Amino acid sequence: MKSIKTWRLLKRNSFSDGVKFGVKMKQLQFMAIMCTVMLFVVYRTTYYQYKQTEMEAKFSPFDISKGSRFSSGRLKSLPRGIVQARSDLELRPLWSTSSSRKKFGVYSNRNLLAIPAGIKQKDNVDAIVRKFLPENFTVILFHYDGDVNAWRGLDWSNKAIHIAAQNQTKWWFAKRFLHPDVVSNYDYIFLWDEDLGVENFDPRRYLEIVKSEGFEISQPALDPNSTEIHHKFTIRARTKKFHRRVYDLRGSVKCTNISEGPPCTGFVEGMAPVFSRSAWYCAWHLIQNDLVHGWGMDMKLGYCAQGDRTKNVGIIDSEYVVHQGIQTLGGQPPTRKVICIPFLLCFNVY
């Protein structure tokens, strides 16, 4: 009888051990599957971060500056995959998780128009902005008179960015609010004065010429009838689409074939400069923190031409503007009178 009981007990124990063994095997199999899934998730996440970083490195124009930030140690505590080194000036509605416009993640062509604006020149600024908005431009107004509410009646006002600071010039605004990391998503930056007539200007055609000729810094030519023209180089050549130099043997500055600097070549004035992304990165660093009127800046911008200033800087003649010569910070344009000496000549007196 004891042998029978012993046999039954051994049989029961072996069955119990077999069940436990089967359960453990299933547990091991489940753990193996879970580990495989986790490894796959980690791999995909790492691969995604790597591709994202690779894409940012490919499209970012400022790899050196980004690298210097990491090497400085200030961001070492942040995982590289979540670092966002750039921004933009796109509006982000509260009721949406993304901009109402196309995301910059696809690197669509975008451009920026920045204008110092006083309420006295509301009509003129309105005419300028209406030229640019249909061509996929972001618009930012620098209100040097502090008056923002008076612009609310314009139908495009809510699409623009408004920044107000009393009695500050556009170079002050540009240094503080157009940092290269903020505007690096824009292909071209138009930093224009408010006193420009744009009846004969088309932004799309202008950029087509700029891109085809490789101009890093440019400006539209000035109509010869403009109120203020300081340099012959910026006057419109009626028979040309664009020009890179001017020839002038009069005066103290002789502009010839061998001239390599402003105001004969490699030169734009301060009222309507247009910068490529790379040129603006340089120009922003060129702007001194206490710069007010910007006098002398035009003579130095050639340093930011990203190469040969005689080739990469130009004036676009086919798309030209009228410089109305309004005084800084919203003064009135000078009164122009035409005086004629019979049988000799006529000239302007202000």
d(CA 216, CA 278): 8
Within a domain: residue 53?
Answer: no
The predicted pLDDT at position 292 comes to 82
The predicted pLDDT at position 325 comes to 80
CATH code, domain with 146: 3.90.550.10
How many CA within 13 A on the CB side of residue 178?
A: 34
Within a domain: residue 99?
Answer: no
The predicted pLDDT at position 90 comes to 84
The values of phi and psi at residue 55, to 5°, are: -65, -45
d(CA 199, CA 11): 102
Identify the bridge partners of residue 321 per DSSP, sorted by sequence position.
222
The predicted pLDDT at position 54 comes to 63
CB-based contact 307:279 (threshold 8 Å)? no
CB within 8 A of 61, min separation 6: which ones? 184, 277, 278, 281
Query: Which tokens hold the place of 338?
Result: 């035409």
d(CA 8, CA 25): 26
Of 229, 186, 214, whose CA–CA distance to 312 is shortest?
214
SS3 percent helix, strand, coil of the chain, rounded to 5, is 40, 15, 40
Peptide bond into 263 cis (omega under 30): yes
The predicted pLDDT at position 343 comes to 39
CA 187, 165, 299, 242 torsion-angle sign: positive
Mark the ranges of the chain whose per-residue pLDDT is less than 50. 60-71, 100, 103-107, 336-350
CB within 8 A of 280, min separation 6: which ones? 178, 180, 183, 189, 304
d(CA 213, CA 314): 9
Within a domain: residue 200?
Answer: yes
Within a domain: residue 183?
Answer: yes
Within a domain: residue 175?
Answer: yes
Strand ranges in 12-158 using DSSP code E only, listed in sequence order = 111-117, 137-143
**Statement: the pTM of the whole predicted model exceeds 0.85:** no
- Which domain does 164 fall in, by range? 111-219+270-314
Query: Which tokens hold the place of 169?
Result: 């010039």
Neighbours of 261 (CB within 10 A): 14
The predicted pLDDT at position 279 comes to 97
Q: In total, how many domains does the chain have?
A: 1
Within a domain: residue 68?
Answer: no
Within a domain: residue 102?
Answer: no
Alpha-helix residue ranges (DSSP H) falling in 122-241: 122-132, 170-177, 180-183, 203-213
The predicted pLDDT at position 48 comes to 66
Within a domain: residue 253?
Answer: no
CB-based contact 139:161 (threshold 8 Å)? yes
The predicted pLDDT at position 256 comes to 87
